[in-house]
Amino acid sequence: MADTASLIAPHGGGQLKSLYVSEASERAAIEKLLPELSSFVISSAAAGNAVMLGGGYFTPLDGYMNKADALSVARTMATADGLFWPTPVLNLVKDSSSLKVGERVALQDPNVESTPVLAVQLIEAIEEFSDAEMLEMAGLVYGTQDNEHPGVKEFLSQGNIAVSGPVQVLNYSYFETDFPSTFRTAVQIREEIAAMGWQRIVAFQTRNPMHRAHEELCRMAMERLDADGLVIHMLLGKLKPGDIPAPVREAAIGKMVEVYFPENSALITGYGFDMLYAGPREALLHAVFRQNMGATHFIIGRDHAGVGDYYEPFEAQEIFDKIPADALKIELFKADHTAYSKKLNKVVMMREAPDHSKDDFVLLSGTAVREMLGNGIAPPAEFSRPEVAEILMEHYRI
């Protein structure tokens, strides 16, 4: 096992806290107990939280938040005892009549056929949020109470009863089996980084295939920060309708790295979590778990984790200037919108090209690109690498 002691400290300053039960005798004891436990199917959001808790990404949390912590996080971006945290981590249910405080329960996975047990939870509290409190949390976390916002809609659909307490995670849902070459826990990424000998590490979040602009943005960040390596960190969980499925993104990004990045300069990894589309608050959460996985720097670009017109273009960067200076150890690389400059024959950050007009850039909307791909037309080489475009066209042909 690689020595990770020299890497950036996890959030909270202690050791990385993985809630996955890896010790054989402990697993055997839990599995022997399972038939005796009450069980229920949790929401996809709660399942994603369990996977992130299991993988160490949500260090130093030890389980699902109670009502006081969730409201405090929504209102102040800190738990009741003062730990910086940007979004509530909840196990919300609609009906708790079969549950009792003090009991251990088996949490069943809604995202795997036959709903196997994902984790075991000790119930420390069962508390109800009022409708007004649910709307307040939605407004603070998502910046809107509009039920047309996919994150708000999902949040308000889960129920308003918080089942809180520590968890012991038994597996990583479908992520480990469906994405064996990509899914990584924070523990595993730290070990891979340490084995590479990297000290300055840039993390790049993506829920989309990477086009030329994304590729060059990563390259710019690595050069300007004198980074040892890049961790491309793909979201593997649920997206909104119309987003490109994770296996296609995985293939496209893998091809891009294989052809256009130097050997051993980039790790392609993924994590098991559903997209919140919470814009600025989600950008902060992304920074927390990138610090936990060992990254020293994190690229935040235009409209990070946004959806529709709910957020200002650089709101996800600006929120980092509003949190306490010691809230996070990870540093930002603030990126502008990137595009291919016809004048300079390369991808640039648009704010760094003041002598350009809009016509000097190759600019394509996501809709236009999807239409081209759907019609079997490769986007211009300035926008997308041909090898990447071919994989995407194949997806749209199906």
Q: Is 207 a catalytic residue?
A: yes
Q: Is 208 a catalytic site residue?
A: yes
- Identified catalytic residue from 207, 219, 249, 375: 207
> Using alpha carbons only, what angle is made at residue 54 by residues 51 and 55, rounded to the nearest 5 degrees?
90
Of the candidates 98, 129, 120, the residue with the CA atom closest to the CA atom of residue 165: 120
CB within 8 Å of 368: residues ≥ 6 apart: none
Burial pattern 282-314, b for ≥16 Cβ within 10 A else e, equals bbbbbbbbbbbbbbbbbbbbbbbbbbeebbeeb
| Cis before 60? omega within 30 | yes
User: How far from 297 is each of 141, 221, 289, CA to CA, in Å?
Assistant: 24, 9, 12
Q: Which of 27, 104, 160, 208 is catalytic?
A: 208
Backbone angles phi, psi at 197, to 5 degrees: 80, 15
Measured on CA atoms in the order 159, 160, 163, 166, is the torsion positive or negative? Answer: positive
Instruction: List phi, psi (to 5°) of 39.
Output: -145, 155
Q: Can you point out the beta strands (E) in the chain? A: 38-41, 63-64, 92-93, 104-108, 117-122, 125-128, 161-169, 201-206, 229-235, 266-271, 297-300, 331-334, 338-341, 346-349, 361-362
Which residues are catalytic, by number? 207-208
